[in-house]
Amino acid sequence: PVLVVDFGAQYAQLIARRVREANVYSEIVPHSMPVAEMLARNPAAVVLSGGPASVYSDDAPGVDPALFEAGVPVFGICYGFQAMATALGGTVAETGRREFGGTALTVTDPGAVLADLPAEQPVWMSHNDAVTEAPDGFTVTARSAGAPVAAFEDTARGLAGVQFHPEVGHTPHGQDVLRRFLFDVAKLTPNWTTGSVIDDQVAAIRATVGDSAVLCALSGGVDSAVAAALVQRAVGDQLTCVFVDHGLLRAGEAEQVERDYVAATGIKLVVVDAADRFLTALAGVTDPEQKRKIIGREFIRVFESAAREVATAEGVEYLVQGTLYPDVVESGGGTGTANIKSHHNVGGLPDDLAFTLVEPLRTLFKDEVRAIGRELGLPEEIVGRHPFPGPGLGIRIIGAVDAERLAILRAADKVAREELTAAGLDATIWQFPVVLLADVRSVGVQGDGRTYGHPVVLRPVVSEDAMTADWARLPYEVLERISTRITNEVPEVNRVVLDVTSKPPGTIEWE
Ligand code: XMP
């Protein structure tokens, strides 16, 4: 792999993704990992990420110079560039010219990394200190107003670095810069493709699971759908999926799982229709936290009993989980191992139902999961689906949940989704909750008559990771079509309002 050494800023995951977009496999490791341990992983190259520290503060994480002796190509970015310069005997100083944001870069000597790129180009910078002298043996290839040495390289040793951030979209030629390092300096082969990932995972799953039976809970979301499809590709009918229909899904979603997904994969599926049970448990409950607890509890109970039946019938030993790489990195376990066996109680299953986990998406980012899903032939409605909360429409009805209110919200939500898709905006918008203010009524007029209906809230947001979000500036024409259609087609709704709150201070969901 290419190891991306994380110096603690938010950029390491982005760098790892960009490397993979160049069809080279990458993994993230913490900067605290000893060089010997990094080398033990046989890295094809190492990328040192940006980070918040100043190289000459006392607790600044440095780079062990041994890294540069190992014959492994190394690319330093921003802080990693400065740490590299320092470790190799160059000079980093405060120039008094802080650069933040879009900055003009002047290529003074293209070398390998900046070859065939414009001599003047905009790049994204974020630094106070700057490299003022390159280490011995390095050629300085670019400068900016605040960075006398904005890029350097010693291609004979496979070493290079840049002060700017090639991984961000604000550096238009950033991906070219990364590719030139990977292919022209480090001489790597682009062999990480969707097809190769599928082949590797299928082999790994077979090796892990052997002849044993495997269980998977399908939620209707992308991750569990792709994880299950991979396992099914590997072990066929040894896999049984359980889909608990809690009755809180949106229009058409249960059918997508029960019909389209099964048709595409041939997966063995047990559907538990538990809608009545969830509605009964939720009757009269208005408190959001209580709703979430009830839905979570009922889900575990229903899944447990279905799992028990399947497990007894088939002798299940393994449970598929759709854990993604960002979760693995964020929980500190960025080892990238394909199948980590850990006997923990998934989502609160009891001890006597503890299975060994199979996590085929553990090394993957969300966009890669989608690409694999497409390659496996899953329906676009599932692969391209926006994130949807486990408690479903239960937390998008403000007030108590009942069948009638669910039907109203489903109808309104369906219109919003259809119009978003028709406008070609599915990929631009992170998520588009529609929320029913079920306990609020407002007066309206329709035809000749007064109406006294409910408002729905449109909550389209853009986001990178759902940790923060901005309200989406949907075109007025799209909003107008949604509003007109909802008030025409859903008789109980006579008002459509738009949520223009970012997160923070709002959350994406209303409950
Ligand atoms: P909030 O509302 O906290 O949501 O901004 C952040 C993201 O998480 C989703 N979400 C959930 N997902 N179970 C889930 O699986 C939940 O209980 C849950 N609550 C919120 C939300 O849709 C958004 O993508």
219 annotated as ligand-binding: yes
Q: What is the pLDDT of residues 437-496, one digit of tens each?
A: 999 999 999 888 999 999 999 999 999 888 889 999 999 999 999 999 999 999 999 999
CATH number reported for the structural domain that contains residue 414 in this entry: 3.30.300.10
Q: What is the pLDDT of residues 378-394, one digit of tens each?
A: 999 899 999 999 999 99
Q: Which of 185, 215, 244 is the last residue in one of the domains?
A: 185
C-alpha span between 423 and 476 (Å, rounded) = 11
CB 167 within 8 A of CB 126: no
223 annotated as ligand-binding: yes
Angle at 257 between CA 253 and CA 258, to 5 degrees: 110
| Domain containing residue 120 | 2-185
| Residues 418, 324 within the same domain | no
Largest CA distance in the chain: 85
Q: What is the pLDDT of residues 231-255, one digit of tens each?
A: 999 999 999 999 999 999 999 999 9
Q: With helix as H, strand as E and coil as C, how does 408-467 read?
A: HHHHHHHHHHHHHHHCCCCCCCCECCEEEECCCCEEEEECCEEEEEEEEEECCEECCCCC
Lowest mean pLDDT among 7-21, 237-251, 285-299, 417-431: 7-21
| Residues 123, 204 within the same domain | no
503 lines ligand 1 (CB under 6 A): yes
For 299-317, what is the mean pLDDT?
Answer: 92
For 140-152, what is the mean pLDDT?
Answer: 97
| Residues 159, 207 within the same domain | no
Give the strand pairing for 449-458 and 442-446.
Answer: antiparallel
CATH number reported for the structural domain that contains residue 65 in this entry: 3.40.50.880
| Residues 205, 179 within the same domain | no
pTM: 0.87
| pLDDT (0 to 100) of residue 308 | 92
| Residues 135, 269 within the same domain | no
Confirm whether 386 is a catalytic residue: no
For 249-264, what is the mean pLDDT?
Answer: 95
Average pLDDT, the chain: 93
Probe ligand 1: pick from 250, 508, 510, 511, max atoms within 8 Å of CB? 508
Q: Which residues contact 229 (CB under 8 A, 6 or more apart)?
A: 264, 265, 267, 373, 376, 378
Ligand 1 closest atom vs CA 433? 22
For 387-414, what is the mean pLDDT?
Answer: 97
Total domain count, the chain? 3
| pLDDT (0 to 100) of residue 348 | 64
Tell me how far the alpha carbon of residue 503 lies from the centroid of ligand 1, in angstroms: 12
Tell me how far the alpha carbon of residue 420 lies from the centroid of ligand 1, in angstroms: 20
386 lines ligand 1 (CB under 6 A): no
pLDDT band at 498 (very low <50, low <70, confident <90, very high): very high
149 annotated as ligand-binding: no
Tell me how far the alpha carbon of residue 467 lies from the centroid of ligand 1, in angstroms: 10
Angle at 75 between CA 71 and CA 77, to 5 degrees: 155
Q: Is residue 503 part of a domain?
A: no
| Residues 96, 220 within the same domain | no
Q: What is the pLDDT of residues 319-373, one digit of tens each?
A: 999 999 988 887 765 443 333 333 334 556 777 778 899 999 999 999 999 999 9
Q: Which residue has the tokens 């692969």?
A: 383
Confirm whether 167 is a catalytic residue: yes
For 183-205, what is the mean pLDDT?
Answer: 96
CB 178 within 8 A of CB 185: no
Q: What is the pLDDT of residues 109-134, one digit of tens each?
A: 999 999 999 999 999 999 999 999 99
- The active-site residue out of 167, 298, 419, 492 is 167
389 lines ligand 1 (CB under 6 A): yes
